[in-house]
Amino acid sequence: MKKSQAFKSGEKIMFIVFGVFFLLAVIAYVAMESIRHSSKEPMFKQTTHDNFSKEGKLGSVLYHKANCNSCHRALQSGTSMGLSLDGIGSLHDLKWLEAFLKNPEKTYGAPTLDHGFPPKEAAYVMEMPAENRHLIAVFLSELKADAGSSEAPEPPPERSEFIDSMVKTWAPKEWKEKFQDIRTKEPEPTKESTK
């Protein structure tokens, strides 16, 4: 029988360092979960909001019954295997969402990973009755994001030190001359103000 070889000193140090990092990660996770569960305030600012209409609420039920959250995340529920749908109503309107659910690849303009014709995993969405697709699209269109959140197409309305420093550091001079910061843009006059 072969005798087991002892660890070398470098291997021992590596295992000790790994063990310490692993232990610290477990302690940090337990502490964070304890704080999160005992806190009355949410840990993270909620940047996606919903104000569901009657159709939106029905669409939410259909979304969950169709098991869409097995791939997508919406309203702090679901997985992150596919695109997060929080804030999608700020990116696309109802018409676009309905068209996507009906014929994803035509609407998107390129092949999609799971949506489309069989044998794609989410092909069943195209085969749903039009009314169900409409209700799910209404639900998705009502998932709005605050300006400045990662899901929103607009920057925050107020000044942001981070954005300002990134623009100062990375934006070419030509951009600064050609484009105007939309946070400082004067609102366009309305019909009433021109009268």
Can you spell out the DSSP letters for 113-127? SSSSSTTSTTGGGTT
Residue 105 has pLDDT above 90, yes or no: yes
Asked if the structure places residue 79 within a domain, the reply is yes
Amino acid at site 51: N
Q: Residue 102: what pLDDT?
A: 96
Q: How far apart are CA 87 and CA 75, in angstroms?
A: 9
> What percentage of the chain reaches a pLDDT higher than 90?
46
For residue 124, give its domain range: 49-145
Residue 188 has what pLDDT? 55
pLDDT at 23 over 80: yes
**Does residue 194 lie in a domain region?**
no
Residue 105 located in a structural domain:
yes
pLDDT in tens, 151-176: 777 777 777 788 788 888 888 888 87
* Band of residue 51 on the pLDDT scale cut at 50, 70, 90: confident
**Average of per-residue pLDDT values in the chain:** 86
Would you say residue 104 lies in a domain?
Answer: yes
The pLDDT of residue 152: 76
In a domain, 11, yes or no: no
CA–CA distance, 151 with 163 (Å, rounded to integer): 16
Class of residue 163 by CB neighbours under 10 A (exposed 0-12, middle 13-18, buried 19+): middle
Residue 115 located in a structural domain: yes
Number of domains in the chain: 1
**Confidence label for 145 from pLDDT (cuts 50, 70 and 90):** confident
Please check whether residue 195 lies inside any domain of the structure: no
Q: Is residue 103 pLDDT above 80, yes or no?
A: yes
What CA–CA distance (Å, rounded) separates 54 from 41?
29
Are 104 and 116 a contacting pair, CB within 8 Å?
Answer: yes
Q: Residue 107's pLDDT is what?
A: 94
pTM (2 d.p.): 0.63
Return the top range by mean pLDDT from 73-87, 99-113, 181-195: 99-113
Determine the pLDDT at residue 104. 94
pLDDT at 147: 76
* Amino acid 160: pLDDT: 77
- Given a contact cutoff of 8 angstroms between Cβ atoms, the answer to whether 69 and 79 are in contact is yes
Residue 42 scores a pLDDT above 90: no
d(C-alpha 112, C-alpha 106), whole Å: 10
pLDDT for res 190: 55
pLDDT of residue 154: 76
For residue 69, the domain's CATH number is 1.10.760.10
Q: Considering the domain boundaries, does residue 21 fall inside one?
A: no
